[in-house]
Structure 1
């Protein structure tokens, strides 16, 4: 997007460049009506005065790079919402969001997108859990980077969901319903966010004085694996409540429970996590933890803008709260 100049404003309004300059600077010789017309047009077109702090300190190229791992694009329920949030925030700032899909081999080799290396961006978002080699390459660049949905204790500024809080909420809900045999379903090695959710689950059980069952490390695959099926059959015959690492796992679990001849929530209660679109329309409708996915993208852009203005400020980690959503997949024990 090309920068808007005073001449552009003058031509749009049918006035001289001098009139635009006087109107924006508060100078005399311009009627109040014209002054307001100029200011309104400047705001609509995103004009940035050359002598303003915003022009000097904010964006130079007006390009923001959005890097996402290729495998995450297969998730049509979560990441598109994060991208939508980032796009909304960049549009408000008259910025260009350039999406770059990182191939697995590029990630492992630490190969950054050409746009990054050409230094044609003001900063970047790195979305998802990248290989340490890729993160190391990012840390050597002069442009600021904000990590999204990654525990960034060793890396730059980060925006995450308060997953541990959500894990506590989900587990306490089942405890409040009278459940005592509660299990966590999900492979915590797949995502750091899954592990944080499991930490919340474990904390809630500990605070309630309940025994922590061995977790079921199922992921997006393996539901037909004979070993896991055997463990699942055993679990659905002994467990009364499940906290799942995400909604997709929860919906798969409900299908398995139904096939096993049991009912949700009459026999077993199930809580998901993320509140993806299909959660409300499942049968039964899924009780879950709402993740503010669009806000993650918006907040990441806000944090990146702050970092561009404050390059020497301490690193920040932003944790976005979650919300408990009760539907029909849980019931009193």
Structure 2
């Protein structure tokens, strides 16, 4: 802690307060302390950070064949059991825990940085985090010493095992499919800052075009900064963009969307503007949610095995409990393209 204090030019007392989670330090200072602590390797020192903070009532060694797993799935960005994406991940977690006769506590509305205080730590084996989770919440979970697996999210400040769909490979497959159909003017729709998966999909899109000698759109393009993706509020912005492109005769021949929700909304808008998918323009999605099959036309997309990701997260947690000293892992689950009716050869 003294090293961190010296590094930031603050007192050791401030560092102690920031890392203890007890309050008394403003958020800006707290974030600076956490960032510095991560850079200096504080969180990875088992004898330093976790051991000194874990209450003595929490067993440091638990039988992985009995107990309960904490599932943290903050209800932000529609991350809940009713989601066509996150609900499937949760089903996979639940199924695997049931097969192992383990219990599950779902925390979906954590209040502040101290949500674990309301949970009896006795019998908690570890935690599976699902989707986007604030650093402050992950820090509290890490502070307890629970082993942790994150699904579709990672935080560079908090060491943990992680599981992702192989987003770069999936987007590369779908872009190569479009190029094989003859498309040379492709445009990506999403927001690279929305999630780690969206960023990886954009990077994969850009790299695949460059590998094929094609030029991707600029990083500051309007369609890379969509807001309101979960609610469809980006629709107005897309209408303005599409109308400008139609008027200037610069509309791409294919739109590669960061997920199915964007692609379904985009298809509806294009129809309202008098364009037909895929005759006038091809559209692809990503995730293969149930609505992608029901959309008109049925959406060409990338299938993410959502239930299997949830199941694999539980197995990964059990592996960590059995082998606490093994190196942390980042697992990529294979994905594949689902060819449907929203893609065709370019009309021009």
**TM-score, with normalisation over the residues of structure 2?**
0.74
Query: Aligned pairs, how many?
Result: 273
Q: How many Å separate the matches in 1 of 2:114 and 2:151?
A: 19
Q: What is the CA–CA distance in structure 2 between the aligned matches of 1:121 and 1:235, rounded to whole Å?
A: 55
* 8 Å contact from structure 1 (residues 152, 158) kept in 2: no
Instruction: Summarize deviations over 1:266-305 as a string: whole Å, max 9, x none.
Output: 0100010000011112111100000000011000000000
Q: What is the match of residue 63 of structure 2? A: 58
Larger Rg computed on CA atoms: 1
Offset at 1:74?
Answer: 7.7
Q: Please name the residue that 2:234 is paired with.
A: 223
Give the C-alpha shift of residue 213 in structure 1. Answer: 1.7
Does structure 2 retain, via aligned residues, the 8 Å contact 1:186–1:244?
A: yes
Q: Mind listing any 5+ residue stretches in structure 2 that lack a counterpart?
A: 1-60
The 8 Å contact of residues 61 and 121 in structure 1, kept in 2 or not, is answered as no
1:134 and 2:137 aligned: yes
Give the Cα–Cα distance (whole angstroms) in 1 for the partners of residues 235 and 281 of structure 2: 21
What secondary structure does 1:64 align onto? strand
Structure 1, unpaired ranges of 5+: 1-55
Q: Which region of structure 1 is more displaced relative to structure 2, 150-159 or 87-96?
A: 150-159
C-alpha displacement at 1:144, in angstroms?
0.6
- 1:283 matched to 2:287: no
1:96 paired residue number: 103
Shift of the alpha carbon at 1:119? 3.8
Contact 2:239 2:269 in 1 (8 A): no
Task: Give CA-to-partner distance per residue, 1:88-116, whole Å, 9 cap, x none.
Answer: 1111111112211134xx3xx42233465
Alpha-carbon distance, 1:224 to partner: 4.6
Work out whether 1:197 is the aligned partner of 2:209.
no
- Does the 8 A contact of 1:58 with 1:305 survive in 2? no
2:181/2:344 contact within 8 Å kept: yes
Change (3 A) 1:102 1:230: same
TM norm structure 1:
0.77
Aligned mate of 2:184, from 175, 180, 183: 180
Q: Is the 8 A contact 1:152 1:317 kept in 2?
A: no
Q: Structure 1, residues 144-188: CA drift from partner, whole Å, max 9, x if none?
A: 111111135542011111111111112111111111110001122
Q: Cα–Cα, structure 1 residues 224 and 165, in superposed 2: closer, same or farther, change >3 Å?
A: closer
